[in-house]
Structure 1
Amino acid sequence: MQLTTLLAAVERGDDLTVSEFLDGHALAPAAALTDDDATTLFWAVLRAGRDELVSALVGRVDLDRPGPAGLDPVTWAAAHGRAAELQAMLPGEPQVSAPGGGPHRRALRAAQDALDAGALPPPAHRAVVTDVEAALGIHRPAGELLARALVSGDPGHADWFSSSFRLGLRFDRETFVWARDLARDGESRLHRLFGTDTLGSLGLPPQISVEDIEAPFADEAADFLRPLLDTESDPYALRSVMRAFGLHCRPGETRAFLRHARHPDAGVRRYVGGALPHGPEVLDALVRLAGDPVPDVRVPALQRLVWLRADTPRVRAALADQLGHPDVAGRIAAASGLALRGDARGRALLEELRSDPVHRRILGPGGLGELHHVLRSAPGGVRGGVPGT
């Protein structure tokens, strides 16, 4: 495949073509693209904001070498507030002994210079600073990270996410108390949202599985959040409260989310479908959500239905109705649920998806592994379900 073809794919947003090419030549990348061509392609995906492709190509380029704009890739990404692309390039450990302090220090200087010059969102310069400072071990007060998030005032912005996420990784009581008090702020919606988002990030310390440790403030957090499940009227805040409650509550307590299964906000319904615990009392809600008018709402509900042992005409009908779901994840969930119940329609679709090259690429090794597991489990009916469902 010629470089011009790959560049055209990037321009039209066809990441799949580029990924397939790179995967197909992973064992001999130099035979597929010269170093100069790889660098040209790298800059194209970097400028286009394709962080996954940046990650796939970063091993082929010299991150210290200036590009078309006279800046090296790290400096360019930081100067333009490209937080996701920068994270795809930076090494896991800061190389502070390298000339100039290494790429982390270089990125921090570039992002800070842009902020000093008056840069404002949507570029995520504050996320760059927050992430790089965290990697360098620079500990900023919670109030300063909140201030960075409030510049955009958008819970969906990278500046907001980076601040709440990095606070959550501290996993200490001081941060819990700070976030809880902020979530009590009745005067500021944004303060309340940031507080609950941070509580939702405090549920798991870095590099420790949930089975190994429980937050020392988990019961307090759950007790604080539980009443908010009834009183919170803002849809985003309610989703944030549910996410945080799900992390801190006792097993099975997410049954409390049932009350929101008919919520007018699609995002709330979607979260409910994916967070309900196993059990016969949630079956009606999952079946209803699996047929929700909004396609995105159906997917997590379908995925929850897959391993439930309940096998009724209503459950099968709900699954069969979604075999044509517009999202491949929805189709796989529906087909898996049927296949595990011995329904030939489900197995047929899974076999079709497994043999299709495009879907194999979309699924990747992990998705294909799950699909194979379902097909192996299917002949004996539903096995491996959760007791009591």
Structure 2
Amino acid sequence: MDADPPIDPKDDPRSVDDLFNAALCEPDEDLAWDAVMALHWRGTREILDRATALATSVCPLERRVGAEVLGQLGCPARTFPDEARDILARMLETETNADALKAAIIAMSHQDGTEGRRATLAFREHPDPEVRWAVVQALSTLGEPWAIAGLIELSRDSDPRVRDWSTFGLGAQTDVDTAEVRAALVARLDDEDAPTRGEALDGLARRNDPAVPSILRERLSRADPDQFEVEAAGELGDPEFLPLLLALRSAGWPGPSWALDGAIAACAPAPMDTPPARPRP
């Protein structure tokens, strides 16, 4: 028997009590988050007050859920943004539980303005990698020098997931192109973590870095280049890569066909203009 389709959060028929109970007590994380999203959509004063009470609770689980609700309250048009931001800022000053702190940092990443996100830099050396990963989310998409410096530092993190996402933040989620950003991306080209290596290469390709073509020539000549390397060739769009890409297609490259097809199209020479028709005598 087919499972029931998920309920659209804006149409969830449950009461506010039922939604908060599910957010706090549902063991399935996806179902618990469904309840949180429904609370986001309603975004009423009652929900703000109840989330605020949870955010200041003595129970870490309640503080985590309070932060999750406050993070996107009133989605898509935010309600009570100043109140939510102030409560989250206080959590950043006092929170000691890693799960609740991660939730508060992620919630702050959804707020307007940058000062709240800047405050998350204080946790870039937190012992829990999940907290450091949350800091990456708060800094990504920002172009301010302090955010870029934070991402560069986190791109050297001991945790591969933190390195991967901070390298993605530097390479793909900002257009900032400085010597420091390029050096940080180059430093990750030989990372032991494959996704991190790929994000570094993609970020350099987006910036047309002169080191990329020789790297791609070598990697696309292998039997098993990864998707990042194929996509980086598409970013450059250089016809010199076309024979290598076509050879991968002929060899049955196991990666996604859309990535290879896109790279081939990007590297193919532009078609010649159709010559004008010869006039009739």
Settle same-fold status: TM greater than 0.5: yes
Q: Residue 285 of structure 1 aligns to which amino acid in structure 2? A: G
Letter in 2 for 1:320: V
1:321 to 187, 198, 212: 187
Q: Is the 8 A contact 2:133 2:165 kept in 1?
A: yes
Report the residue type matching 1:240 in the other structure: A
Counterpart AA for 1:358: P
Structure 2 equivalent of residue 285 of structure 1: 150
Partners of 1:368 and 1:285 in 2: how far apart? 36
Confirm or deny: 8 A CA contact 2:10 2:41 kept in the other structure.
no
The answer on 1:308 being equivalent to 2:204 is no
- In 1, are the aligned partners of 2:89 and 2:116 still within 8 Å (CA)? no
Pairing of 1:92-107 with structure 2 (within 5 A): none
TM-score normalised per structure 1: 0.52
Report the counterpart of residue 344 of structure 1 in structure 2. Answer: 210
Aligned to 1:331: 197
Equivalent residue for 1:145?
Answer: 19
Instruction: Evaluate the alpha carbon distance shift between residue 194 and residue 323 of structure 1 in structure 2; reply closer, same or farther with a 3 A threshold.
Output: same
Q: What's the offset of the Cα at 1:325?
A: 4.1
Q: Distance in 2 between matches of 1:264 and 1:368?
A: 43
Q: Which residue of 2 aligns with 1:294?
A: 159
1:238 to 101, 105, 113: 101
Q: How does 1:93-242 map to 2 (within 5 A)?
A: 131-132=6-7, 137=11, 139-152=13-26, 157-186=29-58, 188-202=59-73, 204-205=75-76, 214-242=77-105
Q: Give the length in aligned residue pairs.
A: 231
2:130 corresponds in structure 1 to 267
Query: Which amino acid letter does the alignment assign opposite residue 334 of structure 1?
Result: A
Q: 1:316 to 1:136 in 2, by over 3 A?
A: closer
Provide the alpha-carbon RMSD of the alignment.
3.2
- What is the letter of the counterpart of residue 51 of structure 2? A
Read off the aligned partner of 2:149 and give its amino acid letter: D
Work out the CA distance in 2 between the residues paired with 1:322 and 1:359: 22
Deviation at 1:326, TM superposition (A): 5.5
1:250 paired to 2:113 = yes
CA distance in structure 1 between the partners assigned to 2:210 and 2:168 by the alignment: 19
Using a 3 Å threshold, how does the CA distance of structure 1 residues 368 and 331 change in structure 2: closer, same or farther? farther
Alignment partners' CA distance in 2, 1:259 and 1:336 = 29
Offset of residue 295 of structure 1: 0.8
**Highest RCO, 1 vs 2 (Cα 8 Å, sep ≥ 6):** 2
Deviation at residue 171 of structure 1 after TM alignment: 2.8
Residues 332, 350 of structure 1: 8 Å contact kept: no
Deviation at 1:301, TM superposition (A): 1.3
Deviations 1:106-145 (CA, angstroms, capped at 9, x unpaired): xxxxxxxxxxxxxxxxxxxxxxxxx44x579452222222
TM-score (norm 2): 0.69
Specify whether residues 341 and 145 from structure 1 end up closer, same or farther in structure 2 by C-alpha distance, changes over 3 A only: closer
Seen in structure 2, the aligned counterparts of structure 1 residues 327 and 358 have a Cα distance that, compared at 3 Å, is farther
Query: Does 2:245 align with 1:358?
Result: no
Identity %: 29
